[in-house]
Amino acid sequence: MHKDDILKELEAIVPKEIIKIDEPLKRYTYTETGGQADYYLSPTKNEHVQSIVHYAYTNDIPVTYLGNGSNIIIREGGIRGIVISLLSLDYIDVSDDAIISGSGAAIIDVSRTARDHALTGLEFACGIPGSIGGAVFMNAGAYGGEVKDCIDYALCVNDKGELITLTNNDLELDYRNSIVQKEHLVVLEAAFTLMPGNKQDIQEKMDDLTERRESKQPLEYPSCGSVFQRPPGHFAGKLIQDAELQGHRIGGVEVSKKHAGFMVNVDNGSATDYEDLIHYVQKVVQEKFDVELHREVRIIGEHPNDN
């Protein structure tokens, strides 16, 4: 189907103002890398998402979802088809001991809302830079807590545009994994059941976690967050540090000197630089310690020479 025809058909089912053509995706990722999206849509309603996904399914057009862009690398070749940004679905509602949030809300903001209402259980998320949708997608966690501990349900859309409500058990939340990943679902909304707590105690815990995070993580540079999953019996950062890879650079991207589990964009690095450095670190750690490092960060899109 011709590009202009797709545009006209999209404009017939959703508001024109939420559609952008050939949009540079580097504007939406923490690494500040990434090529263009053929169609970049920012729906403001769940019904918009359903309509777009159903249209794409019917016309065999690939769909990619983006949240906060904090744990993702998008290649310079960009993304074909439709990219749906969920950031405009950012509402946060509180009812007794429950918080219901749109997938585009930052999990940090949801954590702060819980604190403001003296609800405990989301303190661990006070420094996680992702969106609620991304947090559910990968069962985000930090400092001993994870989404699995407090989520009640998630409202999702499947690849046909149909709504599905999944309970905590249905979500199959595991270490950095979920049914959302496995079945290419997209989260529209999530509900968290929390416990009444003391606001001052909650704030003190969040302050402590924030201080620990800021002292250890290279927040002064663009990065994709923690690059690798924790290997059984090991810590990825410790292995990389022991392999003397801190400060190793490919192009404009280097292994952080502050925290070996991070890779930072120090000099106009590209997605290719990130990908090459990831492969190099995996290779060296495998050779030195016979431990296989698996990525936590997602790498999507096409290589520049694929177009």
Nearest to 69 by CA among 176, 220, 224: 224
SS3 label, residue 154: strand
What totals of helices (H) and strands (E) does the chain contain, helices first? 8, 19
Is 296 assigned a catalytic role? Answer: yes
CA atoms of 256 and 254, how far apart (whole Å): 6
The one catalytic residue in 226, 254, 256, 275 is 226
CA atoms of 171 and 165, how far apart (whole Å): 9
User: 107-116 and 199-216 helices cross at what angle (nearest 10)?
Assistant: 150
* DSSP annotation of 103: T
User: Nearest 5°: phi and psi at 40?
Assistant: -115, 115
Is 176 assigned a catalytic role? Answer: yes
- Can you name the residues that pair with 21 across neighbouring β-strands? 39
Helix (H) / strand (E) containing 213: helix 199-216
Contact status, residue 263 vs residue 228, Cβ threshold 8 Å: no
Is 226 assigned a catalytic role? Answer: yes
Contact status, residue 227 vs residue 263, Cβ threshold 8 Å: yes
Tokens standing for residue 234: 């090991």
Total Cβ atoms within 10 A of residue 41:
21
The residue type of 166 is L
The one catalytic residue in 42, 176, 270, 295 is 176
Per-residue CA distances from 151 to 99, 146, 165, 197 (Å): 9, 9, 13, 17
Catalytic residue IDs? 176, 226, 296
